[in-house]
Amino acid sequence: MPALQKYDAMKLRLSVVELLRLLKKIYSYRELSAMTGVPESVLCRYVRGSTVPSLQQAQNIREKLEKNIDIRKIISSRIDRLVEGYVDVSSIIGDPHLLRLMAHYVALKLAGKRVTKILVPETNGIPFATMLAYTLEVPMVIAKRSKDNPYEQYEEATVVEPALRSTITYYIPRRMISKRDSVLIVDDVIQTGRTISALAKVVSRLGAKTAGTAAIVSVGEPKVSIPKPVVVLLYLGEPGRGPDRESIV
């Protein structure tokens, strides 16, 4: 990881503390100690807020947790798999603790990456995007399915799904994304990647840069190119086309 400024370094240290607090709702101190190699008494002080890990210690804890915490298993146990590869993430997006855990996981994966805005289509991905925007401390822009402000100027993103014989148009307020922005595109489930690809083209037309893609679940591999890095918490194999796996950035 490149050298971090003092503020970014402190954010990383505090993010690791917040992650430990969230994981403490799932795991015991003994289990967290076994995962991180940090004594239970030290972890207890971190979680209670009496002390903060050094930058080196925070980086070590983050790396150990990423290696040992099976977030794929946690998410997989909470989703409902439907027919033809469709999944329902309602129980996930309705759980604030799990949303916070996922947001911190993604934020740690993107540590050092410049993100100034989050762009999310008007779908079930909004709760996840909201928590991620809060964690990254950046504004969120919603690509809506209608022009709800007659005085607003919009940029359009049209998504054509041949297999579903459907076309959806999203509208992004032009004033919400500037040339100075680095935009992370967020969704709940990636089915084909066409929605994310269409939104990325709008970001480009507005003169901004894409910082990558984040999603809770991806069903198979995207059918089109989407912005990298791609942080997907759970990859589900397409029916009859391979096992589930966790994304690695």
> Which pLDDT belongs to residue 162?
73
This model's pTM is above 0.75: yes
- Gap between the Cα atoms of 102 and 130, Å rounded: 12
Q: For position 246, what pLDDT does the model report?
A: 46
pLDDT of residue 132: 97
Confidence check: pLDDT of 191 > 60: yes
Assigned token pair, 22 = 């969230």
Q: Is the peptide bond before 139 cis (omega within 30 degrees of 0)?
A: no
Of 170, 194, 72, residue with least CA distance to 121: 170
Mean local confidence (pLDDT), 147-161:
92
Residues 190-208 have a mean pLDDT of: 96
Task: Report angle CA 31, 33, 37 to the nearest 5 degrees.
Answer: 135
Q: How many helices (H) and strands (E) does the chain have?
A: 9, 9
Mean pLDDT rounded to a whole number for the chain: 88
DSSP-derived letter for residue 176 is G
Q: For the chain, how many residues are written?
A: 249
CA nearest neighbour of 209 among 117, 106, 144: 117
Closest CA to 119 of 137, 100, 99, 139: 139
Q: What is the pLDDT of residue 195?
A: 96
Ordered by where they begin, the domains of the chain are 6-69 (1.10.260), 72-236 (3.40.50.2020)
Does residue 229 have a cis peptide bond before it, meaning omega lies within 30 degrees of 0?
Answer: yes
Percent of the chain with pLDDT over 90: 62
**Nearest-angstrom CA–CA distance, 50 and 48:** 6
Given a contact cutoff of 8 angstroms between Cβ atoms, the answer to whether 172 and 154 are in contact is yes
Q: Tokens 């950046």: give the residue.
A: 138
Q: What is the pLDDT of residues 99-127, one digit of tens each?
A: 988 998 899 889 889 999 999 999 899 99
CA dihedral 161, 154, 200, 164 (to 10 degrees): -10
Looking at residue 76, what is its pLDDT? 86
Using one digit for the tens of pLDDT, what is the confidence trace for 90-100?
A: 989 998 878 98
Q: Do 136 and 107 contact (CB within 8 A), yes or no?
A: yes
Q: Which one has a higher pLDDT value, 213 or 162?
A: 213
